[in-house]
Amino acid sequence: MPADVTFTEEIAIHSDTNLYRRLAAPDAPDWAALLADHLDRWFALFYPSSKQHDPLALTVALELPFVELSRFPITVRADARTSAERDGQPTWVATGADYPAFRRWLTAQLTDVGL
Task: Kindly report, residue by residue over 24-59, the tens digit of the pLDDT.
Answer: 999 999 999 999 999 999 999 999 999 999 999 999
Q: Which domain holds residue 64?
A: 3-111
**pLDDT of amino acid 2:** 84
Secondary structure in 3-state letters for the chain: CCHHHHCCHHHEEECCCHHHHHHHCCCCCHHHHHHHHHHHHHHHHCCCEEECHHHHHHHHHCCCCCEEEEEEEEEECCCCCEEECCCCEEEEEEEEECHHHHHHHHHHHHHCCCC
Confidence class for position 114, pLDDT limits 50, 70, 90: low
Q: What's the confidence (pLDDT) of residue 69? A: 96
pLDDT of 4 above 90: no
Q: Number of structural domains, the chain? A: 1
